[in-house]
């Protein structure tokens, strides 16, 4: 295993960046790299929890299937994003599934090793706590939003956030509309209609997967 390459992976994650050099190296030593071709299922709900996972390159979809069989897209990892921190302490069964959307490289750290590391490094623990507390807050916000806003509001928020994340305008949607639908908990038809609605209000311009935000304040008003 190439330690240099592992270090690069570790350095992608803000949580690790604040660690002193020697501790980063400690982490890097635990890293195992994997490649997953497009479409590969990385893990399924019910699998034994095994790894903390950093996405080095590619795109990975994290989703959950509800009791009624519907798939709920939780997030799409971009390079530098990570996953599995919540599962690490939580029983030994995964409750989500991960799929590689395109060819992807991931760096994995064994669960046990990672836990030992946390025991030894309070600094790392506190970093991880900070990260997780942010996640809790944003999840709570999303939950509130998803039960108060209508579809136009949710799509508006999604577009503004996506545009901001890509730091471009116009920008290309990173997801198929079908996937945006499952992400926002709705159907492709409704997404299609909502796009039309936002366009006719002059808030955005959309053509295919190209979207241009015209009136960001107007979009924010809908949330």
Residue 12 backbone dihedrals phi, psi, to 5 degrees = -70, -25
- Radius of gyration over every alpha carbon of the chain, rounded to an integer in angstroms: 19
CB contact set of 166 (below 8 Å; sequence gap of 6+): 174
Tracing tokens 């950093």 back to the chain, one arrives at 54
Q: Which of 186, 214, 218, 223 binds DNA (CB under 7 A)?
A: 186
Q: Which of 106, 107, 151, 213 binds DNA (CB under 7 A)?
A: 151
Mapped onto helix, strand or coil, the DSSP state of residue 179 is helix
User: Nearest distance from residue 68's CB to DNA, in Å?
Assistant: 9
Residue 58 to residue 120: CA distance in whole angstroms? 32
- Chain Cα centroid distance, residue 174: 12
Mapped onto helix, strand or coil, the DSSP state of residue 196 is helix
Which is closer to a second copy, CB of 144 or CB of 192? Answer: 144
Question: Residue 94: left if φ>0, alpha if ψ -120 to 50, beta else—which one?
Answer: beta
Which is closer to DNA, CB of 85 or CB of 103? Answer: 103
* Binder of residue 126, out of DNA, a second copy, none (CB less than 5 to 8 A by kind): a second copy
Residue 3 to residue 107: CA distance in whole angstroms? 12
Q: Is 43 in the site for DNA (CB under 7 A)?
A: no
* Binder of residue 36, out of a second copy, DNA, none (CB less than 5 to 8 A by kind): none
Which is closer to DNA, CB of 134 or CB of 187? Answer: 187
Q: Which of 168, 187, 202, 221 binds DNA (CB under 7 A)?
A: 187
The kind and range of the H/E element at 23 are helix 21-30
Which region among 46-54, 107-115, 150-158, 161-169 touches DNA (by CB under 7 A)? 150-158
Q: Is 121 in the site for DNA (CB under 7 A)?
A: no
Interface residue list for a second copy (CB under 8 A): 64, 66-68, 70, 72, 74, 85-90, 95-96, 115, 118-123, 125-126, 128-130, 132-137, 139-149, 184-186, 223
Write the DSSP string, 97-129: EEEESSSEEEEEEEHHHHHHHHHH-HHHHHHHH
User: Nearest distance from residue 1's CB to a second copy, in Å?
Assistant: 27
By CB under 7 A, name the binding residues for DNA: 150-152, 176-178, 185-196, 206, 208-209
């Amino acid at each position: 295993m190439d330690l240099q390459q592992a270090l690069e992976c570790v350095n992608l994650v803000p949580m690790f960046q604040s660690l002193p050099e020697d501790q980063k190296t400690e982490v890097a030593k635990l890293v195992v790299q994997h490649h997953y071709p497009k479409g590969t299922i990385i893990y399924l709900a019910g699998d034994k929890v095994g790894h903390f996972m950093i996405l080095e390159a590619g795109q990975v979809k994290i989703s959950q299937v509800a009791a009624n069989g519907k798939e709920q897209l939780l997030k799409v990892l971009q390079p530098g994003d990570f996953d599995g921190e919540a599962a690490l302490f939580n029983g030994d069964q995964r409750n989500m599934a991960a799929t590689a959307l395109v060819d992807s490289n991931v760096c994995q750290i064994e669960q046990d090793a990672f836990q030992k590391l946390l025991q030894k490094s309070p600094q790392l623990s506190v970093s991880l706590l900070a990260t997780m507390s942010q996640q809790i807050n944003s999840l709570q916000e999303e939950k509130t939003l998803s039960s108060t806003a209508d579809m136009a509001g949710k799509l508006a928020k999604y577009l503004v956030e996506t545009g901001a994340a890509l730091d471009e305008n116009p920008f290309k949607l990173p997801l198929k509309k079908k996937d945006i639908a499952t992400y926002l908990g709705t159907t492709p038809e409704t997404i299609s209609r909502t796009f039309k609605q936002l366009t006719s209000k002059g808030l955005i311009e959309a053509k295919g997967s190209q979207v241009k935000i015209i009136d960001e304040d107007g979009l924010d008003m809908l949330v």
